[in-house]
Amino acid sequence: KAGVTQTPRYLIKTRGQQVTLSCSPISGHRSVSWYQQTPGQGLQFLFEYFSETQRNKGNFPGRFSGRQFSNSRSEMNVSTLELGDSALYLCASSALTSGGRTDTQYFGPGTRLTVL
Amino acid sequence: DQQVKQNSPSLSVQEGRISILNCDYTNSMFDYFLWYKKYPAEGPTFLISISSIKDKNEDGRFTVFLNKSAKHLSLHIVPSQPGDSAVYFCAASRNQGGKLIFGQGTELSVKP
């Protein structure tokens, strides 16, 4: 079974621009979560999508948004980029347990975003 | 507010010996805990998990222990191998939801 894929792997943008990152989950996984990793703040949760609906949201400004499509693929968008948005953006997918809870999250390789 | 803490930024162990990585949490509502291994510029790789209804879970060389009263979990790696050298993150969630709270990570170095 193919793992979680993320595109692009590397991206360079300038301040004020916007960016869209893409994530394809493991086949059969319907939950997709996004995380930001920076040296100072570590791994921080951005949001989770399930069945095209945002189920959970972290403490990030509204410039960070996402969506999920009917095939469970997900995108996240960052508008009006700031220097501090430079980070590794990670996507994770998971199945649901028989009880409807999120099972183990499996991560993609990440997208390295550099904002100049 | 750091709800999940890994107080040791680094750990060095000799090959063949036991590696013990520790993690503390403050939120008693957490009910699912995971350990991930991570190399630079790669995504975290899942190692092992434990539900709050258990106090121990084993998978090969990896064992996770959970002490709910102390709000403490640990990962034991026996025997340690040079290929285990990486950054290890513990993570926790509530209601086994899709929001994981991560610790800051511990860099493990296993020396031959």
Q: What's the pLDDT tens digit per position in A35-62?
A: 999 988 889 999 999 999 998 899 999 9
Are A6 and A22 in contact, with CB atoms under 8 Å apart? yes
Flag residues of chain B having pLDDT under 70.
Answer: 1, 96
Distance CA A83, CA B82 (A): 37
CA distance A115 to chain B (A): 17
Is residue A39 within 8 angstroms of chain B, CB to CB?
no
Phi/psi for B80 (5° steps) reads -75, 145
What pLDDT, on a 0 to 100 scale, did the predictor assign at position A101?
Answer: 78
What pLDDT, on a 0 to 100 scale, did the predictor assign at position B18?
Answer: 98
Are A15 and A21 in contact, with CB atoms under 8 Å apart? no
Residues 43-62 of A with CB under 8 A from B: 43-45, 48, 50, 55-56, 58
Give bridge partners of residue B87 from the DSSP assignment.
Answer: B38, B107
CA distance B13 to chain A (A): 24
Closest C-alpha to A57, from A76, A80, A40: A76
CA distance A45 to chain B (A): 6
Phi/psi for B69 (5° steps) reads -65, -35
What pLDDT, on a 0 to 100 scale, did the predictor assign at position A102?
Answer: 79
Residue A46: closest CA among chain B residues belongs to which residue? B99
Residue B6: closest CA among chain A residues belongs to which residue? A42
DSSP B54: -
